[in-house]
């Protein structure tokens, strides 16, 4: 089925995602505050509206890919132009509580709501290989799934509103903590005279195996494609990891869950992203964990 999609937020992620919806044959009308983002999306076949309200005016699906929960809640408050019954899909990473408020706002205005945050980063957005974690009721999920499948490789129904965001922050809490654990192990190995390659060969096929080690290895050498081999350029920005861990830590506090390592990882990444780590892949945290830099 072909949809008319109002797409708000055509940034690093939203731009290529909107382009993939165009490739799948949908009519996509986009809007972004940034002229550069609008121009890049237009070059990919996205029609550009003069305002968010105009972008959603004829839409039966409204998709948002915005920086924070504040942006999403503000937008949802303003998108009253959308036709009654439109399917609102928010793919931004925001707090579980904000996702539930956004869904309530949409439903109160006569629409339907889905939270569908992603993992896979900009390369995944460009290659339409993202993983979507979805919070929605069965009927809305069934309608959203083929659209999300046009932008990704996996679409997982995690539960009702907010469950997609819950899965996203829990997954990224595992990732943030495991990257620090892998980094500390390499640093300890260095002090014990153990080569990076030897530790990698053992841990990557033993019980220390994890994505942080085998795909995004924080030291250069063992995994040629990991950002460590290019001075930590590109990859998953430390600032985004800090953001996601902050959301996880706030959720843990709200639920009275201790999550001590998640909380500590959140502190370390927040400090790193504000300082040396600004603009670097999150695996560069290892550079702050050695004796002379700690
Ligand atoms: P980005 O900053 O590149 O894009 C966000 C866009 O939203 C910008 O172009 C900005 O101009 C636009 N915008 C802000 N307010 C607006 C408004 N009111 N109306 C219209 N446009 C508005 O960010 P991004 O990297 O594309 O990330 C978007 C979301 O995806 C974030 O929630 C982020 O946490 C999440 N995410 C990002 C990645 C990644 O690797 N970049 C991976 C997974 C999830």
The fold for domain 4-160 equals Rossmann fold (3.40.50)
DSSP E strand boundaries for 37-191: 47-48, 61-64, 87-90, 112-115, 118-119, 130-135, 152-159
Q: What is the pLDDT of residue 79?
A: 79
Q: What is the pLDDT of residue 294?
A: 59
| Mutate which of 10, 32, 98 for ligand 1 pocket (most atoms within 8 A of beta carbon) | 32
pLDDT tens per residue, range 147-196: 999 999 999 999 999 999 999 999 999 999 999 999 999 999 999 999 99
Nearest-angstrom CA–CA distance, 137 and 127: 28
Nearest-angstrom CA–CA distance, 90 and 7: 10
Q: What is the pLDDT of residue 275?
A: 92
Structure tokens at 70: 């504040």
Averaged confidence pLDDT in the chain: 96
Check pLDDT > 90 for residue 1: no
Q: Where are the domains of the chain?
A: 4-160, 166-293
What lines the ligand 1 site, CB under 6 Å? 8-14, 31-34, 37, 52, 65-67, 71, 75, 92-93, 118-119, 121-122, 236, 240, 243
Concerning whether 168 is annotated as a catalytic residue, the answer is yes
The whole model's pTM is what? 0.95
4-160 shares its CATH topology with 166-293: no
pLDDT tens per residue, range 82-117: 889 999 999 999 999 999 999 999 999 999 999 999
How many whole angstroms from 8 Cα to the centroid of ligand 1?
A: 9
CATH architecture of 166-293: Orthogonal Bundle (1.10)
Check pLDDT > 90 for residue 291: no
DSSP structure string for 182-232? HHHHHHHHHHTT--HHHHHHHHTTSTT--HHHHTS-SSSSSSTTSGGGGTT
pLDDT tens per residue, range 41-56: 999 999 999 999 999 9
Q: How many CA atoms lie within 13 A of 257 on its CB side?
A: 12
pLDDT tens per residue, range 226-271: 999 999 998 999 999 999 999 999 999 999 999 999 999 999 999 9
Q: From atom 4 of ligand 1, which residue's Cα is the shortest distance away? A: 11
């Amino acid at each position: 089925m072909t949809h008319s999609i109002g797409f708000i937020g055509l940034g690093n992620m939203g731009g290529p995602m909107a382009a993939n919806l165009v490739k799948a044959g949908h009519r996509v009308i986009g809007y972004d505050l940034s002229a550069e983002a609008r121009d890049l999306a237009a070059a990919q076949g996205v029609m550009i509206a003069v305002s968010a309200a105009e972008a959603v005016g004829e839409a039966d699906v409204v998709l948002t890919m915005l920086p924070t929960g504040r942006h999403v809640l503000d937008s949802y408050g303003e998108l009253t132009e959308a036709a009654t019954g439109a399917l609102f899909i928010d793919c931004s990473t925001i707090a579980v509580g904000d996702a539930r408020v956004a869904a309530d706002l949409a439903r109160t205005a006569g629409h339907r709501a889905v939270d569908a945050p992603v993992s896979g980063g900009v390369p995944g957005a460009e290659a339409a290989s993202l993983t979507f974690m979805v919070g929605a009721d069965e009927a809305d999920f069934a309608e959203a799934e083929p659209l999300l499948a046009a932008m990704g490789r996996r679409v997982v129904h995690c539960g009702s509103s907010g469950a997609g965001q819950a899965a996203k922050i829990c997954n990224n809490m595992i990732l943030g903590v495991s990257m620090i654990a892998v980094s500390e192990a390499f640093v300890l190995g260095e002090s014990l005279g153990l080569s990076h390659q030897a530790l990698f060969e053992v841990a990557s096929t033993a019980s220390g195996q994890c994505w942080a080690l085998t795909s995004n290895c924080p030291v250069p050498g063992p995994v040629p494609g990991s950002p460590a081999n290019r001075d930590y350029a590109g990859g998953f920005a430390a600032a985004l990891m800090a953001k996601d861990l902050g959301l996880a830590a706030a959720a843990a506090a709200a639920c009275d869950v201790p999550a001590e390592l998640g909380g500590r990882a959140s502190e370390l990444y927040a400090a790193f992203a504000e300082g040396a780590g600004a603009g670097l892949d999150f695996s560069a945290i290892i550079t702050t964990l050695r004796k002379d830099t700690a």
